[in-house]
Structure 1
Amino acid sequence: MLDRAARLRQLSEVDQDLIRLVQDPHFSRWVEQITATGGCAHPIHLTGSTTTRNVLTGEVLHHYDTRNEPGERLLIRCRNRRQTVCAPCSRLHAGDTFHLVRAGLVGGKTVPADVRERPRLFLTLTAPSFGPVHRATADGQRCRPRRDAGQCDHVRPLGCPAVHDADDPLTGQPLCPDCYDYPAHVLWHAYAGRLWKAFTDNLYNHLVARVGRTRTGLRRSLRISYAKVAEYQRRAAVHIHAVVRLDGAHGPDDPPPAWATADVLTAVARTAAAAVRLRTRYSAALGEHELRWGTELDARPLRAFSGGEGLADDAVAAYVAKYVTKGATDTRAGLDHHITNPDTITAAPVSAHVRALMRTCWRLGGLPELEPLRLRAWAHTLGYRGHILTKSRAYSTTYTALRAERADHRTGRTQPAGLDVITDAHWRYVGSGHTPGAALLAAGIAEDHARNRELAKEELARWDGDVV
């Protein structure tokens, strides 16, 4: 018979690591930590302590130290929003996003309930055309039917008689990559944040022109609050979905003037977007680029309850929450990790169109005059360097507040009213991720949590059906 050492050598790396973990005297506590993170795929390892004291008496109200933890470290969630990177954390991030967006639509989380009566729109702002691309069509319609279309200067057809569906690899790809304006596409992404700022500034300016007030006077009676999410189209260009709400000057606690209606906001949003123009000129080689929004703008009113016209608030919040968890591989527009050298672009599992955008970012990022745009650092997102979800300060609550509320609920710790306390915390980052065996166990815990959620949903649906 083989001795124990020989048997261990025959085991895989994962099996050996699992045996090591199970035999560790702190195994049960380690499982508790992994369960507390929901089976996070890439947990952060911290070491340190936290002490909360009564300022007046010096009494220690709470103390925690990692010295008694497995490996003298505490595991916390990575909080990555991308489902392709960490499914458990992305699911939690989607839930937080839903509540953040919904609170700004129907109230809750420190936002008054009467915000649902405010003028509110769901806007979609698109990027302009940088060159014709293949399109997905419905009802058997052709992509770009053109009689006697001819050819471009690169001897490629200017039309396409084919019928593409959404899953066709050609959908979103340029008819002629050599004609496509890749520098303009990348620069538009780099300035998307400034384009949005110009749009919101224009909203105020166009409201001023419509109601005949000064800008200062308008600011004293009206505030524009919003939450927006960026989404990549099949042509790998970002477009913006935004919930826009009109408040009084002091935010959600203050109603807007009577003249501020959804119809007024809709009309002003269209003219404000159409008027945005940003001109950039860095060098003679690049020339001047005029950056603007695309001509397609969708503006739809929102409703809080069933019936009537407009989109349902919960549906909009759920849509935004679902999108923020998508990784770059889900949208086929980039990578989930930074690019450190051009070889990474060559080996990237992306389309030729996306690869060309990445190479354009890398090439333009090497120009001294474009260094402030940090295009190489954001080549994996095709030059777009904004957050996927952003909001105005007064729109609703914050991710930080939602996480703090969840942590207090989970631990059951509440601070007595009127008690003056001070917290002394000392934490240090010591690593991240899992060993091979730990990763397998964490994946199992995450799968169990997901299954339990599905069973709970089915039971709730069954209960609702019985009540009806």
Structure 2
Amino acid sequence: MRTRPRLFVTLTAPSFGPVHRTGEQCRPRRDRGTCDHGRSLGCGAVHDAADPLVGQPICPDCYDYTAHVLWHAHASKLWDRFVIDVRRRLATSAGIVQSRFAQHARLSFARVAEYQKRAAVHVHAVVRLDGPDGPADDPPAWGTADRLTDAVQTSARRVLVRTPYSPAVGELVLRWGSQIDARQLRADGDGPDDDAVAAYVAKYVTKGADETGAGTDHKLTTWADIDTAPVSGHVRALMRTCWRLGGLPEYAPLHLRTWAHTLGYRGHILTKSRAYSTTYAALRAERAHHVGHADILDTVTERNWRYVGSGHTPGAALIAAGVAEDLAASSEIARDEREVSR
């Protein structure tokens, strides 16, 4: 399969407003212009990667938090339409009927979602072109890496998703960002190789939203949970936007409050098409077969269980009580701060 047409594709979210970034100068400007809220439109500072300002909006009031959250909520649908359109572009360029593409070739992929510093998801994917029977089948003669590259780049720029109409928001048209990258994976060393891509992708698979500073690893059940979450002001604003939009009936199918902890993004971190490789069901079955039949020396399997008890030990009970007191105090402090700000 290393000789098949394969691409390492990166698709980004669009801009929802200027943010602080790393580089020689963040956002240099010759004029001293300000936005409608009186904040400077530029930033002459030099930020390193560890600077907490990196990824934060230049002006939070100008930043389009609504579009950011709704883009996250529709990112999986945007990816689905992208894949469908790539198949159509390939069929058209090869001179075959679009509905018969599956009789000639199969498009497979493995995709990873990564949170950027600005708390927006972008996608890394390995896209491969196989024959109609999948990995065991060679692609047709017209299935070249160049043709696949053209189809990917064209589809990424043309597909869109429209949000449900809302009296409060209107209808938004959501697209991929302008930064689109499609690199051919080659077995001859001329370009990215499989090991480099695997290491790159694995780095993001093992990171959750909380580790990237773009959310939490647990769901938020109340508005107070958002107030006390250990996140930046930018991420907190995104969570609050999820909560507010989640209360609108037209956005009920998006379950934005349920996914406020991931800033509205509802997809999995890692997804793949069925024919890209072995299925997860097959892996589970193989693992179960191994555990059930493998003869491992000096291994004892305990199948008899008895009830011992439930609840905390005396020492654990004291710790739990202390944690509960700390949480109650934090909630009270947050409530007092909200009252003062009013």
TM-score bracket relative to the smaller structure: 0.7 to 0.9
Q: Quote the offset at 1:250 in angstroms.
A: 1.4
Match of 1:177 among 55, 60, 76: 60
1:237 equivalent in alignment to 2:120: yes
Provide the C-alpha distance between the structure 2 equivalents of 1:135 and 1:363, rounded to a whole number of angstroms: 28
Alignment RMSD (CA, Å): 2.5
1:129 equivalent in alignment to 2:15: yes
**2:167 alignment partner AA:** A
432 and 390 in structure 1: CA distance in 2 versus 1, 3 angstrom threshold: farther
1:228·1:240 contact (CA, 8 Å) conserved in 2? Answer: yes
**2:21 alignment partner AA:** R
Aligned to 2:246: 365
Name structure 1 gaps, 5 residues minimum: 1-114, 415-426, 439-468
Q: Secondary structure at the match of 2:153?
A: helix
**2:282 alignment partner AA:** A
Q: Secondary structure at the match of 2:2?
A: helix
1:333 equivalent in alignment to 2:214: yes
1:339-372: CA deviation from partner (whole Å, max 9, x where unpaired): 0001111111100000000000000001111111
Query: What is the aligned length?
Result: 306
2:92·2:98 contact (CA, 8 Å) conserved in 1? Answer: no
Match of 1:280 among 154, 163, 167: 163
Match of 2:257 among 355, 373, 376: 376
Higher strand share: 1
Give the alignment of 1:336-415 within 5 angstroms: 336-410=217-291, 412-413=293-294
Provide the C-alpha distance between the structure 2 equivalents of 1:434 and 1:321, rounded to a whole number of angstroms: 38
Provide the C-alpha distance between the structure 2 equivalents of 1:123 and 1:364, rounded to a whole number of angstroms: 31
Provide the C-alpha distance between the structure 2 equivalents of 1:217 and 1:274, rounded to a whole number of angstroms: 24
Match of 2:131 among 240, 248, 252: 248
**1:268 alignment partner AA:** A
Give the alignment's TM-score, normalised by structure 1: 0.62
Q: Quote the offset at 1:285 in angstroms.
A: 1.3
Provide the C-alpha distance between the structure 1 equivalents of 2:39 and 2:200, rounded to a whole number of angstroms: 39
1:62-81: CA deviation from partner (whole Å, max 9, x where unpaired): xxxxxxxxxxxxxxxxxxxx
**1:372 alignment partner AA:** P
Provide the C-alpha distance between the structure 1 equivalents of 2:196 and 2:141, rounded to a whole number of angstroms: 27
Provide the C-alpha distance between the structure 1 equivalents of 2:45 and 2:249, rounded to a whole number of angstroms: 43
Structure 1 residue ranges, 4+ long, deviating more than 4 angstroms after superposition:
430-438
Q: Secondary structure at the match of 1:225?
A: strand
Q: Secondary structure at the match of 2:61?
A: coil
Provide the C-alpha distance between the structure 2 equivalents of 1:431 and 1:394, rounded to a whole number of angstroms: 47
Provide the C-alpha distance between the structure 2 equivalents of 1:159 and 1:146, rounded to a whole number of angstroms: 6
Q: Secondary structure at the match of 2:200?
A: helix
1:265-318: CA deviation from partner (whole Å, max 9, x where unpaired): 1111111100012222422211121100001011111134xx531212122223
Aligned to 2:4: 118
1:282·1:370 contact (CA, 8 Å) conserved in 2? Answer: no
Aligned to 2:195: 314
1:74-122: CA deviation from partner (whole Å, max 9, x where unpaired): xxxxxxxxxxxxxxxxxxxxxxxxxxxxxxxxxxxxxxxxx11110011
Provide the C-alpha distance between the structure 2 equivalents of 1:257 and 1:342, rounded to a whole number of angstroms: 55
Provide the C-alpha distance between the structure 2 equivalents of 1:433 and 1:402, rounded to a whole number of angstroms: 36
1:218 equivalent in alignment to 2:97: no
Provide the C-alpha distance between the structure 1 equivalents of 2:309 and 2:82, rounded to a whole number of angstroms: 42
Give the alignment's TM-score, normalised by structure 2: 0.84
Provide the C-alpha distance between the structure 2 equivalents of 1:144 and 1:225, rounded to a whole number of angstroms: 40
1:419-450: CA deviation from partner (whole Å, max 9, x where unpaired): xxxxxxxx9xx999997999xxxxxxxxxxxx
Name structure 2 gaps, 5 residues minimum: 296-304, 317-342
1:298 equivalent in alignment to 2:181: yes
Provide the C-alpha distance between the structure 2 equivalents of 1:362 and 1:124, rounded to a whole number of angstroms: 29
1:186·1:383 contact (CA, 8 Å) conserved in 2? Answer: yes
Aligned to 2:340: none
Q: Secondary structure at the match of 2:172?
A: strand
Aligned to 2:319: none
369 and 432 in structure 1: CA distance in 2 versus 1, 3 angstrom threshold: farther
Match of 1:191 among 60, 74, 90: 74
281 and 149 in structure 1: CA distance in 2 versus 1, 3 angstrom threshold: farther
Question: 1 or 2 for the larger relative contact order (CA 8 Å, sep ≥6)?
Answer: 1
Q: Quote the offset at 1:125 in angstroms.
A: 0.4
135 and 435 in structure 1: CA distance in 2 versus 1, 3 angstrom threshold: farther
Provide the C-alpha distance between the structure 2 equivalents of 1:214 and 1:313, rounded to a whole number of angstroms: 33
Identity of aligned residues (%): 68
2:161·2:174 contact (CA, 8 Å) conserved in 1? Answer: yes
Provide the C-alpha distance between the structure 1 equivalents of 2:151 and 2:108, rounded to a whole number of angstroms: 15
436 and 185 in structure 1: CA distance in 2 versus 1, 3 angstrom threshold: farther
Provide the C-alpha distance between the structure 1 equivalents of 2:153 and 2:56, rounded to a whole number of angstroms: 28
Provide the C-alpha distance between the structure 1 equivalents of 2:311 and 2:142, rounded to a whole number of angstroms: 55
Single out whichever of 402-411 and 334-343 deviates more from structure 2: 402-411
Provide the C-alpha distance between the structure 1 equivalents of 2:127 and 2:280, rounded to a whole number of angstroms: 19
Q: Quote the offset at 1:155 in angstroms.
A: 0.3
